[in-house]
Amino acid sequence: MLRAAVDAGADAVYCGFQNATNARNFTGLNFTSEELHSSVAYAHAHGAKVLLALNSFASAGRFPLWKEAADCGARIGVDAFIVADIGVAACIAHHHPHCRLHLSVQAGASSPEAINFYCCEFGIRRAVLPRILTIPEIRQLKAEIPCEIETFVFGNHGLMVEGRCSLTNYAVGISTNMDGACSPPSKVRYDRDSAGAVIASLGSHVIDRFAPDEQAGYPTICKGRYCTAARPEPFYAFEEPISLNLMEMLPALAAVGVDALKIEGRQRSRAYVGNVVGGFRKAIDAVAAGRAPDLIDLLALTEGQKQTQGAFMTKKWR
């Protein structure tokens, strides 16, 4: 997967260890230290960087796991650590003062004051911005902070403040913040009812029901359909299953000073990563050369076959 991204033209690839130290703690997804070592060698040989995600929250008693992961990453020579936990940031800033630190979206820093706190305290060099800011808000924010900024351009369109959500732990007893897993596959169940509809559940909770002719989605709590007294017919109470795609907005993002563009890829297939990264690589190079980007059709890859420019265009969705 890392190789697919590097081969398709990614400048940097995020990765994590196979444990709770990163926010994508899913089976088969992450690296052993040996795998990380060879991946860093591959990336570096091809001019790409490797950023190690240590962006979950270390609960008391488990802190050594995060410390060891940081030590291992530093030994292997990753190009930066991406962190959210103040304690983890402090630990890396203290023990590995020469390593670059990036602030994860999981830190929930969505104002200049919050980002400046992390910059002052830990020398954060880049902040990944939450997916809830408009382009004018990004421009204003960039002017008030000393570090680089990175924005999501393709993938999940998440509207919950990241790093502040314990819905999964409430539903099934696995914490997104502490265990690094939102809606873990081990708790997902699909059943078919007598009418042929697919019922998608997380633990004992029904998150959605899909008619026989509907494509069944993954049961993430904030993407489910529910009812309320105010609106008794099932509706997406939080958000529609929709993908973020900002390819058309690349010139605007470049103009407001976005330093890096982030594509979600770690829970995706190799083909997906290759297609999306390759498409964005061409579009970015076109924008950099002053040409209009050739907008390739990524619709087929998006969740629910719908896409959005999300918060970035307007505040109306709020």
Partner 1 sequence: MAAKLTLGPILFHWDADAKRDFYARIADESPIDTVYLGEVVCSKRTPFFDSHLPEVVERLERGGKTVVFSSLTEVVLNRERKMTTDLCVAGDHNIEINNAAGLIATKGRPHRIGPMMNVYNEETMVHLAGHGANHFSLPPELPGTVVELMAQRARPLDVAIEVQAFGRVPLAISARCFHARAHRRSKDECQFVCGEDPDGLTLTTLENERFLVINGVQTLSHGYLNLAAEIEDLLARGVTHVRLMPHRTDMVAVSTIFADRLAGRSTGAEAMSRLAAFGIGPFINGFWHGIAGHQYHDARGPVAA
* Window 213 to 242, contacts with partner 1 (CB under 8 A): 221-222, 224-231, 234-235, 237-239
Q: What does residue 221 show for φ and ψ, rounded to 5 degrees?
A: -55, -45
In the set 75, 95, 291, 315, which binds partner 1 (CB under 8 A)?
315
In the set 80, 172, 253, 284, which binds partner 1 (CB under 8 A)?
172
In the set 112, 123, 217, 304, which binds partner 1 (CB under 8 A)?
112
- For partner 1, which is the closer residue by CB, 198 or 260? 198
Least distance (Å) between residue 100 CB and partner 1: 20
Helix axes 86-95, 112-122, angle to 10 degrees: 30
Which pair of tokens denotes residue 16?
């994590």
Q: Work out whether the CA dihedral 154, 11, 178, 32 comes out positive or negative.
A: positive
Q: Which of residues 25-84 bind partner 1 (CB under 8 A)?
A: 57-63, 84
115 sits in which H/E element? helix 112-122
- For partner 1, which is the closer residue by CB, 38 or 308? 308
Q: Which of residues 173-192 bind partner 1 (CB under 8 A)?
A: 173, 175, 177-178
Q: Which of residues 274-303 bind partner 1 (CB under 8 A)?
A: none
Stretch that binds partner 1, among 24-32, 37-45, 103-111, 297-305 (CB under 8 A): 103-111
The DSSP bridge partners found for residue 31 are 17
Rounded Cα distance between 228 and 235, Å, is: 9
In the set 29, 198, 206, 295, which binds partner 1 (CB under 8 A)?
206
Least distance (Å) between residue 228 CB and partner 1: 5
Instruction: Tell me which residue has tokens 């007598």.
Output: 194
In the set 46, 75, 95, 164, which binds partner 1 (CB under 8 A)?
164
In the set 20, 109, 253, 283, which binds partner 1 (CB under 8 A)?
109
Least distance (Å) between residue 160 CB and partner 1: 5
Stretch that binds partner 1, among 18-26, 130-138, 243-251, 276-284 (CB under 8 A): 130-138
Q: Is 114 helix (H, G, I), strand (E, B) or coil?
A: helix
Contact flag: residue 18 with partner 1 (CB under 8 A)? no
CB atoms under 10 Å from CB of 271, counted, come to: 10
Give 72's Cβ-side CA count (13 Å radius).
20
CB atoms under 10 Å from CB of 296, counted, come to: 14
- For partner 1, which is the closer residue by CB, 33 or 116? 116
Rounded Cα distance between 63 and 60, Å, is: 6
Rounded Cα distance between 159 and 34, Å, is: 36
